[in-house]
Each structure stands twice: as structure tokens, then as C-alpha cells.
Amino acid sequence: MPGSTYRARALAGTLLATLASASSSFAEAADPAKPAATPPAGPTGNSATAPGGEEAFNNACRTCHSMKPGDNRLGPSLSGIAGKKAGATEGFAYSQSLKNSGVTWDTTTLDAFIANPDAVIAGNNMKPYTGISDAALRAKIIAYLEGAK
Ligand code: HEC
């Protein structure tokens, strides 16, 4: 639970500040004077929803996919992909296999597709992409996809 570690650190900081100065307010305690105490290493402010998910997406998917609506690259934009029918993004030239797959993207189908695209939709054109075998890494990426609009 990364959140509780952070809260514990914040609490320790508050206690120290309170001990150091009886008059120190909560606001002062929450605003650390020591820069070394500042950085809880997260790429974005909302990493509580999907810790590391954006980074994992950037590493594995961003070469071909953007999360910006309408920003189709080598692959279609993945904005709002969760809950969507496969092959439904405007303006992208999908393979026939993907367009006619009848798949709807949810946690289960996304997970299977990211693990091994051909096992879910034979003849898809998501190439060259070799799949991610690490289930925890896939879960992070999917949480990021589901959280981003
Ligand atoms: C080498 C480029 C490339 C990489 C890397 C890649 N994709 Fe794709 N992706 C594509 C292409 C091209 C398509 C369209 C395939 C087709 O038309 O058959 C696609 C399609 C998809 C679709 C279906 C979209 C829809 O509108 O139905 C999903 C979901 C998807 N990719 C997720 C991912 C995720 C998540 C990653 C990273 C783990 C990833 N892709 C990595 C190129 C890529």
C-alpha cells in the first residue's frame, strides 16, 4: 500500500514539526522546509489510481498509441478505449480482423489482448508488438487506460 507509506511519512513530518515548534500550524507542517523530504517519486499527481501505469504505457504502447482523443498514429488513439467496441475509433484504418472481431474492450479482453494480441483477434495488425507476459504490468497499464478519458 504505497498510499499508507506516504501518509505515515506525512504524519511523521507533522509530528516532528509540532515538536520543533509548538506554535507551528498544520499548514506550515504540511509545507516542508527541507527539500530532501519533498519528493514521493510519482510521475503524475494522480498516481494513486494507477501507480506506474502511465509510465508503463509510455514504455510499451506510446510508440504507436496516444491517449489524446483523435490522435491516431501508427495505432489508433486509445482515449476512452475501456467499454468501446473494437475498431470503432473514427479515422483509423483498422485491419478487417479487428473491425469484424465483435470484441468489446473491458478489463478481461484488454488483458488478453495485451498479453497476446493474436490469441484474441487472429490476423490483427498490431505489429511489431510481442505482448507483455507480466500480469502485474498489464494490470497497471489497463488501470491507466481505464482511468484516462
Ligand atoms: C508497434 C505499434 C504498436 C504498439 C507498440 C502497440 N500497439 Fe496497440 N495497436 C497498434 C495497431 C496498428 C492497432 C490496430 C490493429 C488492427 O487494425 O488490426 C492497434 C490496436 C490496439 C487496440 C484496439 C483499439 C481499438 O480501437 O479497437 C488496443 C486496445 C491496443 N492496440 C492497445 C495497446 C496497448 C495497451 C499497447 C501497449 C501495451 C499497445 N497497443 C502497443 C499498434 C501498436
Whether 89 lines ligand 1, by a CB cut-off of 6 Å, is yes
The total of structural domains in the chain comes to 2
Query: pLDDT tens-digit profile of 8-65?
Result: 555 444 444 443 444 444 444 444 444 444 444 444 444 444 459 999 999 999 999 9
Is 111 domain-assigned? yes
Q: Is the distance from the beta carbon of residue 117 to the nearest atom of ligand 1 less than 6 Å?
A: no
Higher pLDDT, 121 or 15: 121
How far, rounded to the nearest angstrom, does the alpha carbon of residue 76 sit from its chain's CA centroid?
A: 17
Task: Report pTM.
Answer: 0.74
| 20 and 77 housed in the same domain | no
19-23, 41-45, 73-77, 107-111: segment of lowest average pLDDT = 19-23
User: Do 126 and 61 share a domain, yes or no?
Assistant: yes
- At residue 18, the pLDDT reads 40
Cα–Cα distances in Å, from 58 out to 46, 50, 66, 67, 144? Answer: 16, 13, 9, 10, 11
Q: Is residue 44 part of a domain?
A: no
Q: Which atom of ligand 1 is nearest to the CA of 121?
A: 18
- Cα(22) to ligand 1 centroid in Å equals 57
Rounded-to-integer distance, Cα 73 and Cα 65, Å: 6
Confidence category of residue 148, pLDDT binned at 50, 70, 90:
confident
